[in-house]
Each structure stands twice: as structure tokens, then as C-alpha cells.
Amino acid sequence: MLVVFDWDGTLCDSVLRIVLAMQAAAEDCGVEPPTDAEVRHIIGLGLPQAMEILFPSLPSRHLDLAKAYSHQFSQSPALPEVALFAGIADLLSDLRAQGCKLAVATGKSRRGLNRTLAQLGMEEVFAHTRCADETRSKPHPLMLEELLEEAWMRPEQAIMVGDSIYDLAMAEQAGLAAIGVTYGVHTREQLAVHKPLAVVDNVAALSQTLNAWRQTL
């Protein structure tokens, strides 16, 4: 069994840091900052795709904005610290004890994910990881297809857990079951469009749903 998690907004309570970093990056570049809602909506996409949506009239500034965002997110002492959501560490430990392989499919860069895993002491937790700068960005299914191949798993042996429509659309296109979580960026109604097995509101309910799915295999 392979359980694939999104990172930001699913495992990691980093949404506010992303929002503030993007807004600070726009200010650094002399650009009108996007609203909180606008930034939250693009979380889950790769950075180039996010820039296209947030700053559609400024293609010549996308690279500068992306660099400024990466600097703000990784370096700014004014931003809130990144931490796992309460209960996530225990959930991951329990899944590993049950023999599940764990993976991450994220819109973060490889450098960004590795840095965060090191900060949290989680380099050994996930058997497989895939980042947006290594493959196609969500919602294209290639990220999941590559993880399945790497883990020697069939789609019916895996499940995707995510907080965004991009996560669930990716799973839908790859033929994977999915669970949506509402404590990240998108609403229950938005997530339900992609027909997940369930949409849950907290980590305890996520744990219960994953256990129920595992027993069906």
C-alpha cells in the first residue's frame, strides 16, 4: 500500500507562511500584492504555474517574483514558523507501523522540500517524494504515475491525500482513490467535485478513513 500526501496544507501548517511570503515578494518587486484568497487558491501548483495565475499581465516579472518569493519563504524571520499539523506525526508513524509506504507529491521545489524535511527531522519518513520542478505540475497525473512506478504499485494499491483541487484532480486523472482535507486551502464543496472517497475536517478523521481504506485491500 502506498499513501501519497500533499505537503503544504495537508501535512504541514505552512499556508500562512506561503501567503505572507508571496505578498512580501510582490512588494519587494514593486508589484501590487495578491490577496490572501488569491494566494491560497494557487497553493499546490508549481511556482511557474502559480506566477502565471497570480500575475498574468506581468510575464516578464515572473522570474524575479519567483526568486523573491523563494527568498522570503526560506529566509524571512518575520514569517510564522513551519510545523506539522497536530496529530500528523503520530498518523505517519502509525501508517509506517502498519506496513504502508509513504510518499509526498508536492508543488514545492526539490530544494524547498528537502530543506523543510531536514528542518523537521523527517528525511527518513517518506520512501518516495516528487516535486513540481522534477516533473509536470499538478493537476497533471505524471507526478503520481512516476511515484507508482518507483514504488512498484498499481493505482488500486495507492491513495492520495490532499487539501487542494489540484491534488484531487491529479488523483482522479491517475485513477487513484483520494481523500480531501478541509483544514488546508480549498472547501469541502470544491474538493467534492473530484469524487474523493471522503472529505474530512481533521487529522483524527483522516486516520480513521485511511484505516478503513486499508482494510478494503
Q: According to the 3-state scheme, what is the secondary structure of 142-184?
A: HHHHHHHHHHCCCHHHEEEEECCHHHHHHHHHHCCEEEEECCC
| Domain extents in the chain | 2-13+82-215, 15-75
Look at the block and give the residue holding cell 493537476.
Answer: 139
Edge to edge, what strands does the sheet with 158-162 contain? 128-131, 101-106, 2-5, 158-162, 177-181, 198-200
Percent of the chain, pLDDT > 70?
100
Question: Residue 149: what are its φ and ψ, rounded to 5°?
Answer: -65, -45
Percent of the chain, pLDDT > 90?
94
73, 53 contact by CB (below 8 A) = no
With H, G, I as helix, E, B as strand and everything else as coil, classify residue 101.
Answer: strand
> Is 90 among the residues known to form the active site?
no
CA-angle at 141, arms to 139 and 143, nearest 5°: 100
Which pTM was predicted?
0.93
> Average pLDDT, stretch 90-104?
96
Residue 15 predicted with pLDDT over 80: yes
pLDDT computed for residue 54 by the predictor: 97
> Average pLDDT, stretch 72-92?
93
One of 6, 13, 163, 167 is an active-site residue; which one?
Answer: 6
Answer yes or no: CATH 3.40.50.2300 is held by domain 2-13+82-215: no
> Average pLDDT, stretch 84-97?
97
pLDDT computed for residue 116 by the predictor: 94
Mean pLDDT in the chain?
Answer: 95
Residue 217 predicted with pLDDT over 80: no
Residue 216 predicted with pLDDT over 90: no
User: pLDDT (tens digit, 9 = 90+) per residue, 108-133?
Assistant: 999 999 999 999 999 999 999 999 99
Instruction: Please report which confidence band the pLDDT of residue 78 belongs to, taking 50, 70 and 90 as the band edges.
Output: confident
Which strand (E) or helix (H) includes residue 46?
Answer: none
Q: Determine how many CB atoms are found less than 10 A away from the CB of residue 38.
A: 14
Cell numbers standing for residue 99: 506496513
Q: How many CA atoms lie within 13 A of 75 on its CB side?
A: 8
User: pLDDT (tens digit, 9 = 90+) per residue, 136-179?
Assistant: 999 999 999 999 999 999 999 999 999 999 999 999 999 999 99
> Is 201 among the residues known to form the active site?
no
pLDDT computed for residue 163 by the predictor: 97
User: pLDDT (tens digit, 9 = 90+) per residue, 17-65?
Assistant: 999 999 999 999 999 999 999 999 999 999 999 999 999 999 999 999 9
> Average pLDDT, stretch 86-93?
97
One of 8, 13, 163, 167 is an active-site residue; which one?
Answer: 8
pLDDT computed for residue 155 by the predictor: 96
